[in-house]
Structure 1
Amino acid sequence: MLDNFPRGTICIEDIEMGMMRYVRKVVTDDDIQKFAEVSTDHNPVHMDDDYAQDTIFQGRIAHGMLTAGLVSAVIGEQLPGHGTIYMSQNLKFLAPVRPGDLVTAEVEVTGIEIGKRRVQLDCRCIVDGKKVLIGEAMVMAPSRKFD
Protein backbone atom coordinates (compact mmCIF):
# COMPACT_ATOMS: atom_id res chain seq x y z
CA MET A 1 0.00 0.00 0.00
CA LEU A 2 1.19 3.50 -0.78
CA ASP A 3 0.60 7.01 0.57
CA ASN A 4 -1.65 5.91 3.42
CA PHE A 5 -2.67 7.80 6.54
CA PRO A 6 -1.41 6.40 9.84
CA ARG A 7 -3.35 3.48 11.25
CA GLY A 8 -5.10 3.82 14.58
CA THR A 9 -8.32 5.21 16.02
CA ILE A 10 -10.30 8.41 15.66
CA CYS A 11 -12.89 8.47 18.44
CA ILE A 12 -16.44 9.68 17.81
CA GLU A 13 -15.68 12.80 19.85
CA ASP A 14 -13.01 13.81 17.30
CA ILE A 15 -14.75 12.92 14.04
CA GLU A 16 -15.80 15.85 11.86
CA MET A 17 -18.03 16.22 8.80
CA GLY A 18 -16.00 15.97 5.60
CA MET A 19 -13.12 14.15 7.26
CA MET A 20 -11.54 11.80 4.72
CA ARG A 21 -9.00 8.98 4.68
CA TYR A 22 -7.74 6.65 1.95
CA VAL A 23 -5.45 3.78 1.02
CA ARG A 24 -3.79 3.09 -2.30
CA LYS A 25 -2.92 -0.41 -3.42
CA VAL A 26 -1.87 -2.09 -6.64
CA VAL A 27 -4.04 -5.20 -7.06
CA THR A 28 -1.78 -8.11 -8.00
CA ASP A 29 -2.29 -11.59 -9.39
CA ASP A 30 -1.21 -12.88 -5.98
CA ASP A 31 -3.95 -10.79 -4.28
CA ILE A 32 -6.56 -12.29 -6.63
CA GLN A 33 -5.27 -15.82 -6.00
CA LYS A 34 -5.28 -15.34 -2.21
CA PHE A 35 -8.78 -13.82 -2.27
CA ALA A 36 -10.03 -16.78 -4.32
CA GLU A 37 -8.58 -19.18 -1.76
CA VAL A 38 -10.01 -17.37 1.25
CA SER A 39 -13.44 -16.73 -0.28
CA THR A 40 -13.62 -20.01 -2.26
CA ASP A 41 -14.69 -17.91 -5.29
CA HIS A 42 -12.70 -19.37 -8.18
CA ASN A 43 -14.89 -17.90 -10.93
CA PRO A 44 -12.79 -18.20 -14.11
CA VAL A 45 -13.37 -14.51 -14.96
CA HIS A 46 -10.89 -13.91 -12.11
CA MET A 47 -8.63 -16.92 -12.56
CA ASP A 48 -8.41 -17.98 -16.23
CA ASP A 49 -6.97 -15.65 -18.89
CA ASP A 50 -8.42 -17.63 -21.83
CA TYR A 51 -11.90 -17.83 -20.33
CA ALA A 52 -11.92 -14.16 -19.29
CA GLN A 53 -10.82 -13.00 -22.74
CA ASP A 54 -14.19 -14.19 -24.13
CA THR A 55 -16.27 -12.28 -21.55
CA ILE A 56 -17.61 -8.73 -21.68
CA PHE A 57 -14.49 -7.71 -19.72
CA GLN A 58 -12.11 -9.02 -22.41
CA GLY A 59 -9.64 -10.11 -19.75
CA ARG A 60 -9.31 -11.13 -16.13
CA ILE A 61 -10.68 -8.90 -13.40
CA ALA A 62 -10.29 -8.77 -9.64
CA HIS A 63 -13.14 -9.92 -7.43
CA GLY A 64 -15.46 -7.01 -6.68
CA MET A 65 -15.33 -7.82 -3.00
CA LEU A 66 -11.53 -7.69 -3.05
CA THR A 67 -11.87 -4.07 -4.20
CA ALA A 68 -14.56 -3.47 -1.57
CA GLY A 69 -12.19 -4.90 1.03
CA LEU A 70 -9.98 -1.85 0.54
CA VAL A 71 -12.88 0.31 1.75
CA SER A 72 -13.12 -1.94 4.79
CA ALA A 73 -9.39 -1.45 5.37
CA VAL A 74 -9.80 2.33 5.48
CA ILE A 75 -12.74 2.06 7.88
CA GLY A 76 -11.10 -0.51 10.17
CA GLU A 77 -7.62 0.99 10.18
CA GLN A 78 -8.06 4.76 9.75
CA LEU A 79 -11.57 6.26 9.84
CA PRO A 80 -12.83 5.69 12.44
CA GLY A 81 -10.17 2.96 12.77
CA HIS A 82 -9.44 0.34 15.39
CA GLY A 83 -12.52 -0.63 17.40
CA THR A 84 -15.00 0.37 14.69
CA ILE A 85 -18.07 -1.86 14.26
CA TYR A 86 -19.66 -2.17 10.81
CA MET A 87 -23.44 -1.75 10.87
CA SER A 88 -24.25 -1.62 7.15
CA GLN A 89 -22.69 -1.17 3.74
CA ASN A 90 -24.11 -0.73 0.26
CA LEU A 91 -22.00 -0.89 -2.86
CA LYS A 92 -22.36 -0.29 -6.56
CA PHE A 93 -19.71 -1.65 -8.89
CA LEU A 94 -19.18 0.72 -11.83
CA ALA A 95 -16.18 -0.74 -13.66
CA PRO A 96 -13.80 -3.69 -13.36
CA VAL A 97 -10.48 -3.64 -11.55
CA ARG A 98 -7.73 -5.53 -13.36
CA PRO A 99 -4.50 -7.07 -12.15
CA GLY A 100 -1.92 -4.28 -12.00
CA ASP A 101 -4.44 -1.48 -11.37
CA LEU A 102 -3.63 1.07 -8.68
CA VAL A 103 -6.82 1.41 -6.61
CA THR A 104 -7.44 4.37 -4.33
CA ALA A 105 -10.11 3.57 -1.73
CA GLU A 106 -11.54 6.70 -0.11
CA VAL A 107 -13.91 7.11 2.83
CA GLU A 108 -15.51 10.44 3.74
CA VAL A 109 -17.69 11.36 6.73
CA THR A 110 -21.16 12.50 5.62
CA GLY A 111 -23.10 12.13 8.88
CA ILE A 112 -22.46 11.91 12.62
CA GLU A 113 -24.77 10.86 15.49
CA ILE A 114 -22.56 11.37 18.53
CA GLY A 115 -25.07 9.99 21.06
CA LYS A 116 -25.35 6.68 19.21
CA ARG A 117 -21.66 6.73 18.13
CA ARG A 118 -22.82 6.33 14.52
CA VAL A 119 -20.90 7.64 11.54
CA GLN A 120 -22.21 7.64 7.97
CA LEU A 121 -19.49 7.34 5.35
CA ASP A 122 -19.37 7.91 1.61
CA CYS A 123 -17.15 5.22 0.10
CA ARG A 124 -15.49 5.06 -3.31
CA CYS A 125 -12.70 3.31 -5.15
CA ILE A 126 -10.93 5.01 -8.03
CA VAL A 127 -8.64 3.70 -10.79
CA ASP A 128 -6.96 6.14 -13.18
CA GLY A 129 -9.29 8.97 -12.10
CA LYS A 130 -12.42 6.87 -12.74
CA LYS A 131 -14.77 5.64 -10.01
CA VAL A 132 -14.97 1.85 -10.11
CA LEU A 133 -17.00 1.43 -6.89
CA ILE A 134 -19.29 3.72 -4.89
CA GLY A 135 -21.33 3.20 -1.77
CA GLU A 136 -22.22 4.19 1.76
CA ALA A 137 -21.44 2.65 5.11
CA MET A 138 -22.84 3.12 8.59
CA VAL A 139 -20.47 2.28 11.42
CA MET A 140 -20.29 2.54 15.18
CA ALA A 141 -17.17 4.48 16.13
CA PRO A 142 -15.09 3.96 19.25
CA SER A 143 -15.48 6.46 22.06
CA ARG A 144 -13.12 7.69 24.78
CA LYS A 145 -16.02 7.20 27.21
CA PHE A 146 -15.72 3.41 26.79
CA ASP A 147 -11.92 3.10 27.14
Structure 2
Amino acid sequence: MTDTLNVLENITYNELKEGDSATLSRTLTQDELVLFAAVSGDVNPVHLDAAFAAESMFKERIGHGMWSGSLISAALATVMPGPGTIYLEQNLAFKRPVKLDDTLNITLTVLRKEPRNRVLISCNVHNQRGEQVVVGEAKVIAPTERVSLLKPSLPEITIAS
Protein backbone atom coordinates (compact mmCIF):
# COMPACT_ATOMS: atom_id res chain seq x y z
CA MET A 1 0.00 0.00 0.00
CA THR A 2 1.34 3.46 -0.94
CA ASP A 3 1.64 6.12 1.76
CA THR A 4 -0.43 9.04 0.39
CA LEU A 5 1.72 11.54 2.35
CA ASN A 6 4.65 10.54 0.13
CA VAL A 7 2.76 10.89 -3.15
CA LEU A 8 2.67 14.03 -5.30
CA GLU A 9 -0.29 14.47 -7.61
CA ASN A 10 -1.08 17.40 -9.84
CA ILE A 11 -4.23 19.17 -10.99
CA THR A 12 -4.31 19.77 -14.73
CA TYR A 13 -5.23 23.00 -16.46
CA ASN A 14 -8.55 21.48 -17.58
CA GLU A 15 -9.38 20.40 -14.01
CA LEU A 16 -8.63 23.77 -12.40
CA LYS A 17 -11.57 26.12 -11.80
CA GLU A 18 -11.68 29.74 -10.69
CA GLY A 19 -11.97 29.81 -6.90
CA ASP A 20 -10.19 26.48 -6.35
CA SER A 21 -7.79 26.72 -3.43
CA ALA A 22 -5.12 24.70 -1.68
CA THR A 23 -2.89 25.15 1.35
CA LEU A 24 0.57 24.25 2.60
CA SER A 25 2.03 24.85 6.09
CA ARG A 26 5.64 25.08 7.23
CA THR A 27 7.44 26.21 10.40
CA LEU A 28 10.59 28.34 10.33
CA THR A 29 13.17 26.48 12.40
CA GLN A 30 16.71 27.53 13.28
CA ASP A 31 18.03 24.90 10.86
CA GLU A 32 15.82 26.14 8.00
CA LEU A 33 16.90 29.74 8.64
CA VAL A 34 20.60 28.83 8.53
CA LEU A 35 20.21 26.54 5.52
CA PHE A 36 18.31 29.24 3.60
CA ALA A 37 21.09 31.74 4.39
CA ALA A 38 23.70 29.25 3.19
CA VAL A 39 21.88 28.35 -0.02
CA SER A 40 20.83 31.90 -0.92
CA GLY A 41 23.99 33.66 0.25
CA ASP A 42 21.84 36.17 2.16
CA VAL A 43 23.76 36.43 5.42
CA ASN A 44 22.23 39.73 6.53
CA PRO A 45 22.87 39.81 10.30
CA VAL A 46 19.19 40.61 10.98
CA HIS A 47 18.62 36.93 10.14
CA LEU A 48 21.66 35.37 11.83
CA ASP A 49 23.03 37.60 14.61
CA ALA A 50 20.81 37.93 17.69
CA ALA A 51 22.72 40.94 19.10
CA PHE A 52 22.53 42.82 15.79
CA ALA A 53 18.85 41.94 15.33
CA ALA A 54 18.04 43.10 18.88
CA GLU A 55 19.05 46.62 17.80
CA SER A 56 16.94 46.47 14.61
CA MET A 57 13.35 47.64 14.20
CA PHE A 58 12.26 43.99 14.72
CA LYS A 59 14.08 43.58 18.09
CA GLU A 60 14.87 39.95 17.23
CA ARG A 61 16.06 37.78 14.37
CA ILE A 62 13.66 37.39 11.48
CA GLY A 63 13.35 34.98 8.59
CA HIS A 64 14.32 35.88 5.05
CA GLY A 65 11.42 37.32 3.08
CA MET A 66 12.25 35.01 0.22
CA TRP A 67 11.99 31.98 2.53
CA SER A 68 8.31 32.85 2.70
CA GLY A 69 8.32 33.34 -1.08
CA SER A 70 9.95 29.96 -1.55
CA LEU A 71 7.04 28.35 0.30
CA ILE A 72 4.71 29.75 -2.35
CA SER A 73 6.92 28.10 -4.96
CA ALA A 74 6.77 24.84 -3.00
CA ALA A 75 2.97 24.99 -2.79
CA LEU A 76 2.67 25.66 -6.54
CA ALA A 77 5.06 22.81 -7.36
CA THR A 78 3.72 20.19 -4.98
CA VAL A 79 0.08 21.01 -4.14
CA MET A 80 -1.70 23.15 -6.78
CA PRO A 81 -1.29 22.82 -9.68
CA GLY A 82 1.51 20.46 -8.56
CA PRO A 83 4.17 18.45 -10.41
CA GLY A 84 4.78 19.71 -13.93
CA THR A 85 3.87 23.32 -13.11
CA ILE A 86 6.09 25.97 -14.68
CA TYR A 87 6.47 29.17 -12.61
CA LEU A 88 6.38 32.26 -14.88
CA GLU A 89 5.81 35.34 -12.72
CA GLN A 90 5.40 36.40 -9.11
CA ASN A 91 4.68 39.63 -7.28
CA LEU A 92 4.94 39.74 -3.51
CA ALA A 93 4.34 42.27 -0.77
CA PHE A 94 5.89 41.52 2.63
CA LYS A 95 3.44 42.72 5.29
CA ARG A 96 5.11 41.67 8.55
CA PRO A 97 8.21 39.79 9.68
CA VAL A 98 8.39 36.04 10.08
CA LYS A 99 10.10 35.02 13.30
CA LEU A 100 11.74 31.78 14.38
CA ASP A 101 9.17 29.08 15.15
CA ASP A 102 6.41 30.88 13.23
CA THR A 103 4.25 28.47 11.26
CA LEU A 104 3.22 29.87 7.91
CA ASN A 105 0.05 28.80 6.16
CA ILE A 106 0.19 29.37 2.41
CA THR A 107 -3.16 29.58 0.63
CA LEU A 108 -3.29 29.50 -3.16
CA THR A 109 -6.52 30.44 -4.97
CA VAL A 110 -7.14 30.26 -8.72
CA LEU A 111 -8.08 33.76 -9.86
CA ARG A 112 -8.23 33.27 -13.61
CA LYS A 113 -7.44 30.80 -16.34
CA GLU A 114 -5.80 32.27 -19.43
CA PRO A 115 -4.97 30.92 -22.89
CA ARG A 116 -2.02 28.57 -23.42
CA ASN A 117 -2.53 26.81 -20.06
CA ARG A 118 -1.64 29.93 -18.06
CA VAL A 119 -3.24 30.35 -14.63
CA LEU A 120 -3.20 33.41 -12.37
CA ILE A 121 -3.13 32.39 -8.71
CA SER A 122 -3.61 34.50 -5.58
CA CYS A 123 -0.97 33.77 -2.91
CA ASN A 124 -1.73 34.57 0.72
CA VAL A 125 0.57 33.69 3.59
CA HIS A 126 -0.53 33.94 7.23
CA ASN A 127 1.28 33.05 10.43
CA GLN A 128 -0.13 30.86 13.20
CA ARG A 129 -1.88 33.91 14.69
CA GLY A 130 -3.77 34.53 11.44
CA GLU A 131 -1.70 37.63 10.63
CA GLN A 132 -0.97 38.17 6.95
CA VAL A 133 2.79 38.12 6.35
CA VAL A 134 2.93 37.96 2.53
CA VAL A 135 0.43 38.62 -0.24
CA GLY A 136 0.84 38.39 -3.99
CA GLU A 137 -0.05 36.72 -7.25
CA ALA A 138 1.71 34.11 -9.33
CA LYS A 139 1.33 33.18 -12.98
CA VAL A 140 2.09 29.60 -13.93
CA ILE A 141 1.75 27.21 -16.82
CA ALA A 142 -0.42 24.43 -15.45
CA PRO A 143 0.32 20.83 -16.45
CA THR A 144 -1.89 19.29 -19.11
CA GLU A 145 -1.31 15.65 -18.20
CA ARG A 146 -2.19 14.07 -14.87
CA VAL A 147 0.72 12.63 -12.89
CA SER A 148 1.06 10.82 -9.59
CA LEU A 149 4.54 10.03 -8.32
CA LEU A 150 6.46 9.33 -5.16
CA LYS A 151 7.83 12.40 -3.41
CA PRO A 152 11.64 12.41 -3.83
CA SER A 153 13.64 11.78 -0.66
CA LEU A 154 16.11 14.41 0.45
CA PRO A 155 19.41 13.60 2.13
CA GLU A 156 19.73 14.21 5.86
CA ILE A 157 21.54 17.52 6.39
CA THR A 158 23.29 18.41 9.63
CA ILE A 159 24.04 21.99 10.62
CA ALA A 160 27.59 22.40 11.96
CA SER A 161 27.76 24.48 15.13
Q: Which residue of 2 aligns with 1:140?
A: 141
**SS at 2:71 equivalent:** helix
Aligned residues of 2:24 and 2:75 also touching (Cα < 8 A): yes
TM-score by length of 2: 0.84
Aligned residues of 2:24 and 2:79 also touching (Cα < 8 A): no
Alignment root-mean-square deviation, CA: 1.4
State percent identity of aligned pairs. Answer: 36
TM-score by length of 1: 0.91
Amino acid aligned to 2:28: V
Distance in 2 (CA, whole Å) between partners of 1:137 and 1:32 is 24
Q: Which structure 1 segments of 5+ residues have no match?
A: none
Q: Deviations over 1:112-131 (max 9, x none)?
A: 12x41010000011011110
Distance in 2 (CA, whole Å) between partners of 1:109 and 1:140 is 12
Q: Deviations over 1:91-119 (max 9, x none)?
A: 00000000010110111100012x41010
Q: Which residue of 2 aligns with 1:122?
A: 122
Aligned residues of 2:23 and 2:107 also touching (Cα < 8 A): yes
Q: Which residue of 2 aligns with 1:107?
A: 108
More helix by share: 1
Q: Which residue of 2 aligns with 1:7?
A: 8
Once the two structures are TM-superposed, the CA of residue 8 in structure 1 deviates from its matched residue by 1.7
Distance in 1 (CA, whole Å) between partners of 2:58 and 2:99 is 10
Distance in 2 (CA, whole Å) between partners of 1:52 and 1:35 is 17
Q: Which residue of 1 aligns with 2:55?
A: 54
Distance in 1 (CA, whole Å) between partners of 2:87 and 2:47 is 27
In the alignment of these two chains, the number of paired residues is: 140
Amino acid aligned to 2:126: I
Q: Which structure 2 segments of 5+ residues have no match?
A: 147-161
Distance in 2 (CA, whole Å) between partners of 1:143 and 1:100 is 37
Amino acid aligned to 1:103: L
Q: Deviations over 1:30-87 (max 9, x none)?
A: 1000000000111000000000000001100000000111111110001111000111
Q: Which residue of 1 aligns with 2:20?
A: 19
